[in-house]
Amino acid sequence: MKKVVVLLVCAVVLLVGDTVLDKSGIESSFGAKKAYEQGKAFYNNKEYDKAVELYKKACDSGNMHGCYDLGLMYAFGNGVEKDFGKAAELYKKACDSGNMRGCHNLGVMYTSGNGVEKDFGKAAELYKKACDGGEVLGCTNLGFMYNNGNGVEKDLGKAVELFKKACNGGEMNGCYNLGVMYTNGDGVEKDFGKAVQLFKKACDGGEVRGCGNLGSMYANGNGVEKNEQKAVQLYKKVCDGGDMLGCSNLGFMYNNGNGVEKNEQKAAELYKKACNGGEMNGCYNLGLMYADGNGVEKDFSKAAELFKKACDGGNMHGCRSLDIIYRLMAK
């Protein structure tokens, strides 16, 4: 305890002894804060050029929120020409001065190799700094690194700890990923009931993938009583929220009449939406509909096109079906 008291006293003496410098610093700080707040107002009004100017003024005057937000402007090309290198410099400046979001975003740059050379080890260090500093998104991304063994030795138990920390801190992606760990029994004992709780929390918090996985739990009766109508509602929420896997799953429900009146035309529409959105399972299922003439007019050429797209996108069912459809077309 004595050591702590001495350190506190020294800090007070330094503050008193530098009265003139502190006044100047305070005035500068107030000016930087005002510039940042004005920049934020212009940004919210989509006046990006003015926002950039004020964020730069704030950053140059020592306001690290200004540096971070200016980094975002360069990363997304708002009000300035997109420049990942400049964004990385600004995130680093913010991070070095204690802005944990800057550390997190700089970690993202090292993960993706945008603006800096890709370096998973450096990314992991930055995510850890952000996580330890209270930026829970850093905890989630560090969890990813441990889950996949990128930049750190693979450790599923550590990934679980980090996802849990993120989730408890209100980061819904952490809740979603922790739910996946409980679903698969990765790093923890498999527990569908716990997974359901986590997917629900993620879903209620706006993470649509949580809604999708919760829908699958209801569709299959895992961790909850089977309820296909509830699954349909959740898949629709996911699809409307822009997650194409939800559209594909909703199409499956319509195609088979699970939890909703069977409607093959509606199923085809949903598979098409999913496919166009990059969900290869939607392409594959739509290909099946064209191959069989369900919900659409039978068309082997169209089926082949969709199976090829699914196959090229990594869907092995599409590859196998493409081989079959080519044989049928050759007859």
- CA gap 316, 300 in Å, rounded: 19
Are 82 and 76 contacting, i.e. CB atoms less than 8 angstroms apart? yes
Residue 76's pLDDT is: 97
pLDDT at 29: 52
**pLDDT band of 14, cuts 50, 70, 90:** very low
How does pLDDT run across 210-257, given as a tens digit for each residue? 999 999 999 999 999 999 999 999 999 999 999 999 999 999 999 999
Instruction: Say if residue 40's pLDDT is above 60.
Output: yes
Question: pLDDT of 69-97, one tens digit each?
Answer: 999 999 999 999 999 999 999 999 999 99
Distance from C-alpha of 144 to C-alpha of 131, rounded to nearest angstrom? 13
End-to-end Cα, the chain, rounded Å: 88
pLDDT (0 to 100) of residue 331 = 74
Tens digits of per-residue pLDDT, 173-182?
999 999 999 9
pLDDT at residue 67, as a whole number = 97
Task: Dump pLDDT digits (tens) for 144-167.
Answer: 999 999 999 999 999 999 999 999
pLDDT reported for residue 8: 26
Q: Which residue has the tokens 């709780």?
A: 197
Contact 183, 190 (CB under 8 A): yes
- Per-residue exposure over 162-201, b if at least 16 CB sit within 10 Å of its own CB, e if not: bbbbbbeeebbbbbbbbbbbbbeeebbeebbebbbbbbbb
CB 290 within 8 A of CB 322: no
What is the arithmetic mean of pLDDT over 51-62? 95
Q: Half-sphere exposure of 284 toward its Cβ, with a 13 Å CA cutoff?
A: 19
pLDDT at 16: 28
pLDDT score for 169: 97
CA angle 307/308/313 to nearest 5° reads 100
Burial 113-147 (b: 16+ CB within 10 A, else e): eebbeebbebbbbbbbbbbeeebbbbbbbbbbbbb
- pLDDT tier at 311 (50, 70, 90 boundaries)? very high
Mean pLDDT, range 182-208, rounded to an integer: 98
Q: What is the DSSP letter of 134?
A: T
pLDDT at 22: 36
